[in-house]
Structure 1
Amino acid sequence: MYKRTYIEGETKGATVRLICEVCKIEQKHNVVQSVRRKVEDDYDTALTEYEIVQCLNCDDLSFRKEYTDSNSADYDPEIDEVVYYSVIDVYPSRTAGRFRLKGIQHLPVKVRAAYEELIQALNGGQKILAGLGVRVLIEMICKDKNAEGGNLYKKIDDLVRMGVLAPAGSDILHKLRSMGNDSAHEARPSTSEQLNLAMDVVDNLLDSVYIHPKMAATVFPEK
């Protein structure tokens, strides 16, 4: 059995949060119009929401698409949990034109190489490679700081023990690690929202761990 149906207005009037292209930060958006596509067969049911959304702060309009199906769950062996997901895309893309950090010359060679390729993947719209690149960059940071552990999950926790990372930061890095797992093992593209948030976190981490300490040593030399 195969059946495809379209329903208008199922999410009209709902509120979603996403990064506004004009405001440049996450804002509440109102769904001003929507169409739901439902596809059913003998093995699976898939839903795709096509939505025109409007920023409640600046009134700018965007297009949002959210896909999920009855198989949208994966087991993460590193945390021994089942992780549920949906794929969300926003147009225009929120990752295009991502600028490099100032002071990247202060990054270790391998960390900088991973960061540069991640930026290229983002600006090229290569979402699978970008999601994988986030994980690789985190691994390079752990290796540079000699974090211990049998897997990346434990190494991130060791960064907290070493004082390199705050506990709240480790929670976010674990989410980025999981995103990288999806890209590496399932060839699943990360969403624009996920990649933008991931880069905000990565940029802050690189600033606090490498760039700001180096710049401070130059601006405030020891007497």
Structure 2
Amino acid sequence: MTIKKIKSHCRHCGQETNHSILSEHSESSRDEYVYDRAYQVIECLGCETKSFRDVLEEIEHAYQIADDEWEIPTSITVYPRFIKNHRSLSGEYYLPSLVGEIYGEVLLALKEDALVLAGLGLRGTVEAVCNDLNIDGRNLEIRISKLASAGYISRKDAERLHGIRFMGNDAAHEIKRPDQVQLSVALKIVEHLLSSVYILEEEAQGKIDTLITEFEQFKELLGKKLNSFAIGDELPIIGFLGRDIRRVKDSLPALEAELIDAINKGEIKKLTKGKLDKYNNSKNDLQHYVLA
């Protein structure tokens, strides 16, 4: 049996690919309205993703384009609906619940060609990220700027996010319908934000050495390093961390201040404050800690 092959969009591959037709039902009308219609179950020959395809040929509206040639208007609808040339965000499961829900609704709006709602949703996704990160401010303009100043995004990223803000404002206040090109670019900007803030952060943990600026991360790293030392060992932080000191170098004064505060409060029991002394020919005296 010969397998019939067609070109169709694959939602998993994010592009037009070769498909095989697994099943097909056809119907026609030659009465009041003349048409041919085919309902097809198709499968991508690359990833094996299956879809449903509705092909309508409106013979009633055929028009002549040459002496012996006619053009038949044909509409093709593929289900589930898809966003053309878009691939699913890898690691979407790392997104916080509310952020993920709003992002999912944006994708649904784009698939259904609800462009005003999609514009509002993209702006709402940025708002949700700010809420999740506890970035405050009386309006989104200030909050986007604070995202950059807090180090979550770059200045260039902030400039692009302001474009999302403008588009969302136009959709909300002027009921201005953004076009597909604008929304395609805006979606890439928002997905870059989600990937940078949540997905890459999770995927990088434990796989590559990244800079540490948060005390909880510093405490976790220090705790692992202490396992290599014996009770009674007295060293400064640089001695305990070794080459990993490079990961906290710029933030060390603030992190060490938090460490001392936690030791004084009895929240950290593995270390006690020791002497102030030089270490490995250091210029200044360094605070030492005793492993308890």
1:30-74 Cα offsets, whole Å, 9 max, x none, are xxxxxxxxxxxxxxxxxxxxxxxxxxxxxxxxxxxxxxxxxxxxx
1:72-95 Cα offsets, whole Å, 9 max, x none, are xxxxxxxxxxxxxxxxxxxxxx94
Q: Is the 8 A contact 1:98 1:119 kept in 2?
A: no
Aligned position for 2:105: 117
Which sits farther off after the overlay, 122-131 or 213-222? 213-222
Counterparts of 2:168 and 2:176, CA distance in 1: 9
Aligned position for 2:149: 161
1:93-108 aligned at under 5 Å gives the runs 95-96=83-84, 98-108=86-96
Unaligned runs of 5+ in 2: 1-14, 16-81, 210-220, 225-292
Q: Is the 8 A contact 1:95 1:196 kept in 2?
A: no
Letter in 1 for 2:175: A
Pair 1:198-2:186 in alignment: yes
SS in 2 for 1:196: helix
SS in 2 for 1:147: coil
Q: How many residues align?
A: 133
SS in 1 for 2:106: helix
Counterparts of 1:130 and 1:140, CA distance in 2: 15
Alignment RMSD (CA, Å): 2.4
* Deviation at residue 145 of structure 1 after TM alignment: 1.0
Counterparts of 1:124 and 1:219, CA distance in 2: 39
* Deviation at residue 149 of structure 1 after TM alignment: 1.1
Moved over 2 A (4+): 94-100, 218-223
1:152 to 136, 140, 143: 140
Unaligned runs of 5+ in 1: 1-21, 23-93
Counterparts of 1:117 and 1:211, CA distance in 2: 19
Counterparts of 1:109 and 1:211, CA distance in 2: 13
SS in 2 for 1:206: helix
SS in 2 for 1:96: coil
1:168-188 Cα offsets, whole Å, 9 max, x none, are 111110111000011111221
SS in 1 for 2:127: helix
Aligned position for 2:163: 175
Aligned position for 1:140: 128
1:209 to 177, 197, 214: 197
Q: Is the 8 A contact 1:121 1:127 kept in 2?
A: yes
Q: Is the 8 A contact 1:149 1:155 kept in 2?
A: yes
TM-score (norm. length: structure 2): 0.42
* Deviation at residue 219 of structure 1 after TM alignment: 4.0
Q: Percent sequence identity over matched residues? A: 36
Letter in 1 for 2:172: A
Q: Is the 8 A contact 1:98 1:123 kept in 2?
A: no
Aligned position for 2:247: none
Aligned position for 1:41: none
Counterparts of 2:92 and 2:120, CA distance in 1: 20
Counterparts of 2:182 and 2:201, CA distance in 1: 28
1:16-165 aligned at under 5 Å gives the runs 95-96=83-84, 98-165=86-153
TM-score (norm. length: structure 1): 0.55
* Deviation at residue 96 of structure 1 after TM alignment: 3.4
Letter in 2 for 1:168: K
Which sits farther off after the overlay, 180-189 or 108-117? 180-189
SS in 1 for 2:205: helix
Letter in 1 for 2:180: S
Pair 1:188-2:176 in alignment: yes
